[in-house]
A and B are shown apart, each in its own frame.
Chain A
C-alpha cells in the first residue's frame, strides 16, 4: 500500500519499521506511537492522519533548565510546588496536536493541566514540582515530537498585558446603538400621536444616557487623534470625524432640551459603531508569527562552558566573557564570536546568510556568532560578548529604534486635508446664506452639514478594502504586518533582492557528475557509503544516485570534515574534499563538490549547483517593466554570469556586500526619493529589511525563522510577487472608487442639509446605507481583483 509513516506522514525511504501492522519511518516515530498506545492516547491518530513529528535527539540540550535562575525567568507563575509555564511549539498544526497536548496529564501524573492556544501555537502547562521540573516537561514534550522553541527572547521577557480596549469599545457602542435604535424607532413614523407625545421625553432622555458612554468612552480615540493632528498641524481624517461626533451630540442634546426634535442619537451611536467595526477589520494579526524578531529569537538561553578544570557547566549567554571556553554540540548555535580550538568544525550559517552549505573551519580560525555546528561537539574560546559580536552589533544601529516610516502618507491622509477644508467651507457658506435668508434655520443648516458630511464611508473604505486583501494574502501564504504595508506596496519604485536563500532555494541543489564513467560496481559502493554518512552532502548524493542493492560495505570510515574511506572487493574508495581524496589534485573551481578516487586514481567529482527559484525569470521580466531591480549578495561574483544571462539587462548587481553595506545601499537609493522594497531572508538582511520602505522576508517555513520585517512570504509564493504588487495597486483604485461612492451619498445628504430639511430619520437612513454599501462594494471588489493569486493556487492542487 502506501509508503507513508503512520506517525509523521513522511515517506519511508531509508528504513521501514513495521510495528503492530503499521509502518514507521524511523525508531523515533515508532517510540512516540508506543508511548501513546501505552497511555491510551491512540485517538491522536484518529483525529487527523499522520499528525506527528519525528522527535529529534535532544540529549543534553536542555541541561541548562536545571538552573533555578534560568527557570525562574521562563515560567509565568510559581507557588507552593506548582509552576505554570507557557511554551511556544512550532509543530502545533492540527486538531490532533491540540488533543494530545491537552492530555499531557495522562503521560505524567505531575502535570495538572495544559491548555493550547492554537492561533498563537502556544501551550500553557501547570505542573507540580515534587518530582517534576521544567526540564523534565520539555524533555517529555520533545520525546513525543512537540519540542518547544525556547530562545534568548523568552529569557526574562515581561508578559505584556493584552490590549482589549477596542473590544470593550465596540461592545459599548454596539449595546448603545441597538438600544437607541429601538428607542428612536417610534418617532420615525408617528409624528404627533397622543401616547407618543406623552412618553417622548422618557425615550429621548434614555437615548441621551445611552449615547454618553459612546461619545466619551468608545469615541474618545477620535477626539485624541484629532487633537494630536491639530497640534502637529496635520488635518487628518479623524478631525472631521471628531467634529461630526461632537456636533451630533451637542445638536441632539440641544434638540431634546428645547424640544426641537428627537435628536440624532441613532446616527451618532451607529456612526461610532461602524467606525470601530472598521478598526477591528483592519487589525488582522497573525498571532503565531512575529514581525519584530531580532537575534534574540535565534539565540539559545544558555551554553555549555568548560571550567578551568575541564568540567562542563551551563552558563547564561549574557554572562559569557572574553576568554571563556565553550562547548558547542551538534546542531547548537555559536552565541559569540570566537576562535575554534578543536581540529575542525563544519558550520552552517544558514540563519545568517541563507546559504545552507556547510562552511569548514580548522583550528585557530575565527568563527562568528550565529553559525550552527554540524557534526561532533567542538570547543571555542570566546572573543567577544554576545552584544558585541559581529552579527548582533547590527541591532545597535539606529534604524532598529524607529518603528514607523515618517515619509509615508496614506491615501486617506492625503485626501483628508482637502476633505476637511471642503466640508468646513460648505458649512460656513450654508451658515452665512441662511443668516441672511432665514436666520432661524442658520445654525440648523450649519450643524446638519457637519453631521451629514461626517466621513464615515470614507473612513471605512480603507480598512475594509485593505483588511480584506490582508486576509486573502494571508490565506495564500503572504503575511503582512498591517494595512499600511499594503498601501506602501502599491507605491514602490525599486525592488532589491538578496541572492542567497531568496533568489536561490536553499533546500535543493542541482547535482552534476563530471569525470570518468562510473561502473555499476562503483555506483553501488558510493550509494552505500553515502548511506552510512550523516553529512548533509552525503544525504543529498544518496538521494541523487539511483537506487542500488543496499548492503553494508566491508569497511567504512568517516573522517569528520574531510570525507569517507570505504573499501569493497579489495578496492579502496575515497570520497570527500579535493585535498582528502588526492594529494596532488588542486580544485580551481569555487563550487561545492565531492571528489571521488578509487585506489588512488582520481575518478571524478559531483558538483552542486545553486538552484534558482522557479518562476524567477518571468517574475523579473514582469517587474522589470515598471520597477528598477537590484540584486545584493554577500557572496563572491561566481554566480554573476548565470544571473546576467537569466535576468533582464537592466538589473543591477552588487556582490560581496556586508550586512551594514546592504543597509547603507538602501539608504542611498531612498535619498533619491525612491520607495524601496527589500526582499531577503537571513539575519544578515535584517538591517536592510528594516531600512527599506517595506521589507519582505522569504521563508521556507513561516512558523519559525524570519528576521524583523514588514511582511513574511512563504517561499512557494515568491514567483507571484508581481501579482501581489499589482493587486495592492488595484486595491488603491477600489478605495478611490469608494471615495466617489461616498461623495455621491454626501451630495444627496448635503442637499437635505443645505435646504434645512435634514430630519433625523433621513440621517439614520443615509448613514448606515452608505456604510453598508461601501462594505459590500469593497468586499466584492477585493474578491474579484485577487482572483489571479487564488486561481493559480487551486490549479496547483488539481
Chain B
C-alpha cells in the first residue's frame, strides 16, 4: 500500500502544474479581457490569405455557410 504515497505525490503534482499555469495566465493578462478573444477566434479563416482574390471568395462562402 505504499503506492499511496506515490499516487498522492502525482495527484498533487498534476494539480500544482495546473495551478501554476493558471497563475501565469492571469499574470499575462489572459483574464483581463474575457470577451474579445471569443470573437477573434472565429476570424482565423480570413487572416491567412496567400492569394487574396480566390481566398476571399472562399472565406465569404464559409461565412455564409456557417
Contact = CB atoms under 8 A, between A and B. Distances in A.
B46 A99 contact: yes
A178 B12 CA distance: 11
A43 B39 contact: no
B8 A206 contact: yes
Contacts of B32: 117, 162, 164
A167 B35 contact: no
B8 A117 contact: no
Given A43-B63, A195-B1, A202-B5, A118 B35 contact: yes
B43 A102 contact: yes
25 contacts: A40-B49, A43-B59, A46-B64, A98-B40, A98-B43, A99-B43, A102-B40, A117-B33, A118-B33, A118-B35, A119-B34, A164-B26, A164-B32, A167-B26, A168-B23, A171-B19, A175-B19, A175-B22, A178-B15, A182-B11, A198-B1, A199-B1, A199-B4, A202-B5, A206-B12
Interface residues of A, number: 30
Given A118-B33, A195-B1, 9 more contacts: A42-B56, A43-B56, A43-B63, A98-B40, A116-B36, A119-B34, A162-B29, A168-B26, A175-B19
A47 interface: yes
A95 interface: yes
A120 interface: yes
Nearest to B4: A199
Contact of B63 (A47, A115, A198, A199): A47
Interface residues of B, number: 33
A357 to B, nearest CB: 39
Interface of A: 40, 42-43, 46-47, 95, 98-99, 102-103, 115-120, 162, 164, 167-168, 171, 175, 178-179, 182, 195, 198-199, 202, 206
Of listed B35, B42, B53, residue having the most chain A CB within 10 A: B35
A171 B59 contact: no
A95 B39 contact: yes
Interface in B23-59: 23, 26-27, 29, 31-36, 39-40, 42-43, 46-47, 49, 52-53, 56, 59
Given A40-B52, A43-B60, A46-B63, A175 B26 contact: no
Contact of A171 (B23, B39, B42, B64): B23
Interface of B: 1, 4-5, 8, 11-12, 15, 19, 22-23, 26-27, 29, 31-36, 39-40, 42-43, 46-47, 49, 52-53, 56, 59-60, 63-64
A175 B1 contact: no
A117 B36 contact: yes
A309 to B, nearest CB: 50
Nearest to B39: A95
A171 B30 CA distance: 14
Contacts of B11: 182
Contacts of B12: 179, 206
A43 B1 contact: no
Nearest to B60: A46
Nearest to A115: B36
A98 B39 CA distance: 8
A112 to B, nearest CB: 15
Contacts of B23: 168, 171
Contacts of B56: 40, 42-43
A119 B19 contact: no
A48 to B, nearest CB: 11
A475 to B, nearest CB: 15
B39 A118 contact: yes
Contacts of B35: 118-119
A117 B52 CA distance: 27
Contact of B15 (A43, A119, A175): A175
Contacts of A43: 46, 56, 59-60, 63
B46 A118 contact: no
